[in-house]
Amino acid sequence: MLYDKPGLKFKNQDCSGEIVWQSPSNIAVVKYWGKKGFQIPSNPSISFSLNRSYSKTRVLFRPATGKNFKVRFLLNNTPQPDFKKKIISYFKSLTKIFPFIEQLDFEIHSNNTFPHSAGIASSASGMSALALILCDIERYCFNRLTRLEDFFQKASFVARMGSGSASRSVFGGWVAWGAIEGMEGTSDLFGVPIKNYIHSDFLNYQDSILLVETGTKKVSSRIGHDLMKNNPFAKDRFSQAKQNAKRLVKVLKAGDIDEFIRITESEALTLHAMMMASQPSFILMKPQTLNIIEEIRAYRRETGVPVCFTLDAGPNVHLLYPKSNRNQVNKFVRNDIKPYLGENGFIDDEIGPGPKKLM
Ligand code: PMV
């Protein structure tokens, strides 16, 4: 594997330039919650990449002027010292894979198309964009990773080190990260796209992200993953998720929407059950979250429209449904759900084609 080979350093040449990528957030149906070793998931996860919720990241790089590499970081045109620290420690963790990091200075401009810390994985989009750019620097300056498959596999491997879920954002459509029994090619080390296995009903899935609250998260996912180490239900949870991942791959292939709904909602509620059963415990749902869940279930019961919900580690609700039901569901959201939403309303999103190089 390419990332196992010793990384490259500049010797007699130097290299500077500007690279821009846009990379999406994703929403997991089978959730990653709990890890071991260095960013190895305790169970496989499956998500789809979003279309309109993405980070656009521009990196200017030039030969380092001092002994240590320097990073300047702006999010939505504003310097962000906390994020800058995270990026520096992420880059330091990557110097074995990309020794050239230590020989460069970086100016990083990132913009998200969605509110920060909304429980929409900004770490997934942001870290995957950075990983793609680092691989692109390697490609541009050293003429490596010229085979697309190698490029994206390494980008996913590297994104995983910044944020597990970011490993899935490197690809479009449905993506699995973590070894799934019986599914060749899946790995704990990087995500793999599973589009060859998908029924057409699941190729255009919609995600209306219902923003109950867009404040800062109360628990970082790093702490959340750690708490699984002493969670009394961890073992059963991991084996449930392994079964669900295996089952979901079949469901996506068969187009079995009823079973999809069952798995999706069970995964979301189990994720939150795990947080509630941790020590210390976290309740990240808000009263509006529960109201919305009840509205969704009532609407499905009364109309037969196959909507379902999933949740990330926060109070916002992702409403998932096939594209053929778009008009009905849009009315439902505007009429019945809007009163429960915060000032940012909702984000109308859908499955997307994955990252894009802009420059
Ligand atoms: O990638 P992390 O470490 O931020 O963890 C993400 C965890 C969840 O979003 C809750 C689930 C998932 O699989 O995306």
Concatenated DSSP letters of 200-263: GGGTT-EEEEE-S--S--SS-HHHHHHHGGG-TTHHHHHHHHHHHHHHHHHHHHHT-HHHHHHH
Model confidence pLDDT, tens digit, residues 18-33: 999 999 999 999 999 9
Alpha carbons 67 and 25: distance in angstroms, whole number: 35
Q: Where residue 10 falls among pLDDT bands split at 50, 70, 90?
A: confident
What is the Cα gyration radius of the chain?
20
Q: What is the pLDDT of residue 29?
A: 98
Distance 196 CA to ligand 1 centre (A): 24
Q: What is the pLDDT of residue 11?
A: 81
43 lines ligand 1 (CB under 6 A): no
Q: Where residue 9 falls among pLDDT bands split at 50, 70, 90?
A: confident
Is pLDDT above 80 for 214? no
Output the residue whose Cα is nearest ligand 1's atom 9.
312
Q: What is the pLDDT of residue 13?
A: 77
Alpha carbons 340 and 289: distance in angstroms, whole number: 8
Q: Where residue 117 falls among pLDDT bands split at 50, 70, 90?
A: low
Cα 60 to the center of its chain, rounded Å: 24
- 27 CA closest ligand 1 atom index: 14
Q: What is the pLDDT of residue 164?
A: 97
Is pLDDT above 70 for 2? no
Is pLDDT above 80 for 85? yes
45 lines ligand 1 (CB under 6 A): yes
Distance 163 CA to ligand 1 centre (A): 8
Alpha carbons 292 and 340: distance in angstroms, whole number: 7
164 lines ligand 1 (CB under 6 A): yes
Output the residue whose Cα is nearest ligand 1's atom 4.
221
- Enter the tokens of residue 155: 């980008």
Alpha carbons 25 and 112: distance in angstroms, whole number: 10
Model confidence pLDDT, tens digit, residues 127-169: 999 999 999 999 999 999 999 999 999 999 999 999 999 999 9
Q: What is the mean pLDDT of residues 86-99?
A: 95
Average pLDDT, the chain: 94
Q: What is the residue whose two structure tokens read 């449930």?
A: 240
Q: What is the pLDDT of residue 343?
A: 87
Q: Is the peptide bond before 280 cis (omega within 30 degrees of 0)?
A: yes
Strand pairing category for 104-112 and 71-75:
parallel
312 lines ligand 1 (CB under 6 A): yes
121 lines ligand 1 (CB under 6 A): yes
Q: Which of 158, 177, 221 to mutate to test the pocket of ligand 1 (most atoms within 8 A of CB)?
A: 221
CB 351 within 8 A of CB 193: no
- 35 CA closest ligand 1 atom index: 3
Alpha carbons 176 and 183: distance in angstroms, whole number: 10
- 26 CA closest ligand 1 atom index: 14
Is pLDDT above 70 for 118? no
53 lines ligand 1 (CB under 6 A): no
Q: What is the mean pLDDT of residues 168-177?
A: 98
Q: What is the pLDDT of residue 217?
A: 63
Is pLDDT above 80 for 97? yes
Q: What is the pLDDT of residue 73?
A: 96
Distance 26 CA to ligand 1 centre (A): 9
Q: What is the pLDDT of residue 7?
A: 72
152 lines ligand 1 (CB under 6 A): no
Q: What is the pLDDT of residue 135?
A: 97
Q: Which segment of 121-130, 170-179, 245-254, 304-313 scores lowest on mean pLDDT?
A: 121-130
Q: What is the residue whose two structure tokens read 């429960």?
A: 340
Model confidence pLDDT, tens digit, residues 34-81: 999 999 999 999 999 999 999 999 999 999 998 889 999 999 999 999
Distance 52 CA to ligand 1 centre (A): 19
Q: What is the pLDDT of residue 141?
A: 95
- 124 CA closest ligand 1 atom index: 1
Q: What is the pLDDT of residue 4?
A: 58
